[in-house]
Structure 1
Amino acid sequence: MAIRSLCVYCGSRSGARPEYLEQAKRLGREMAARGIALVYGGASVGLMGAVADSVLDAGGRAIGIIPQSLARKEIAHHGLTELNVVDSMHSRKSLMAEKADAFVALPGGIGTFEEMFEMWTWAQLGFHAKPIGLLDTAGYYTGLIAFLDRATREDFMAPATRALLQVADEPSVLLDRLAAFTAPSAERWVGAGQT
């Protein structure tokens, strides 16, 4: 699949380890080198700002989508290729999903988790067939991945649903996996009890 735009979910904070910031920057540079535009939450702070700045510094395109309430708090990134100010978080997530060909979560907090899980749920339900990935920087998502594997073993998640989530600890590897991803036919894996 040709990925022209990638929605990146990540923290508005930089985290405790320098690796988080460095991997965010590496992802941004790798995206720009591949001609992949960034779609993200529009902030200038934390990992969000680092990814955007890296994309822009490497000559790429960065599209931000931010609710008016957050833009007013002066965290909006005003140096982007395109900044969309919307009326709500729901509008933000919907527009991000519409503009992206794929989704990746970097380390972050509950907002990052919620956005990534929503896109994964939508894929499971057949609302989209776009690839979804986790960048497991410094083992940040190791515990979550183990939990998801347990949910699959305990039959609360279909193996095909689990397989929708691509995981890698290097940006280039994750982008390669997303590009190679082919979604299964929805009829094969969506059914009662598989949510």
Structure 2
Amino acid sequence: MKRRGQLMVAVYCASGPVPAEYLELAAEVGEAIGDRGWGLVSGGGNISMMGAVATAARSAGAWTVGVIPKALVHREVADTDSDELIVTDTMRQRKKHMEERADAFLTLPGGIGTLEEFTEAWTAGYIGMHRKPLVVLDPMDHFAGFFDWIKSLVPSGFVSQHSLDRIQIATSVGAALDLCATDSGAGAA
């Protein structure tokens, strides 16, 4: 079970085929979470970046919680080595469990599933449902085009500067984890 007072970080990232440098980034994040004595909340798969972050976190002594919907148990190959593996009926339940268990959200490179999880946590924070840090680790400029587009929506009012300020972007693992440990969850994009 989670150690009392242990920071739990939900990591959103790719669960499909990616180049080796992304797997290395995920493993570095997992190891750093464990080295800090923190715990990991992941999407519950043991493949790709999702598997790399969980395996490295466990190897470094982190408590790992995997949350996976039944429909993805075989597709993402459930991380049965998790200290806790929660199998949900739906994706919405998966995200709810991950959000409830997390003290901070860390987004790594990924596709539309990763982006959807990140934007849902971002929206929930913006409308006051939580004050948890929202951090994007982007050393390879994976999300640069996305954030350029989001910033272009500020002048028209479709995205407020306040909402954009909720997101903290880092280019190194250490800086990203330092941001995950902040209390307010507010920072500059």
TM over 0.5: yes
Output the CA distance in 2 between the equivalents of 1:92 and 1:125.
Answer: 20
Q: Which of 165, 178, 183 is 1:163 aligned to?
A: 165
Deviation at 1:10, TM superposition (A): 0.6
Paired residue type of 2:156: E
Output the CA distance in 2 between the equivalents of 1:72 and 1:12.
Answer: 12
Residues 153 and 174 (structure 1), Cα distance of their counterparts in 2 relative to 1, 3 Å cut: farther
Contact 2:134 2:185 in 1 (8 A): no
Contact 1:106 1:137 in 2 (8 A): no
Q: Percent sequence identity over matched residues?
A: 37
Other-structure match for 2:130: 128
Q: Which of 176, 179, 182 is 1:180 aligned to?
A: 182
Other-structure match for 1:190: none
Other-structure match for 1:105: 107
Output the CA distance in 1 between the equivalents of 2:51 and 2:185.
Answer: 31
Structure 1 gaps of 5+ residues are: 185-195
State the TM-score, normalized to the length of structure 1: 0.87
Other-structure match for 1:7: 10
Other-structure match for 1:67: 69
In terms of Rg, which structure is larger? 1
Output the CA distance in 2 between the equivalents of 1:108 and 1:87.
Answer: 23
Residues 14 and 135 (structure 1), Cα distance of their counterparts in 2 relative to 1, 3 Å cut: farther
Deviations, residues 17-52 of structure 1 (Å, cap 9, x unaligned): x32111111111110011111101100101000000
SS in 2 for 1:44: coil
Other-structure match for 1:145: 147
Other-structure match for 1:188: none
Q: Which of 42, 49, 60 is 1:40 aligned to?
A: 42
Other-structure match for 1:25: 27
Root-mean-square deviation (Å): 1.7
Residues 183 and 79 (structure 1), Cα distance of their counterparts in 2 relative to 1, 3 Å cut: closer
Spell out structure 1 runs of 4+ moving beyond 6 A: none
Output the CA distance in 1 between the equivalents of 2:154 and 2:103.
Answer: 26
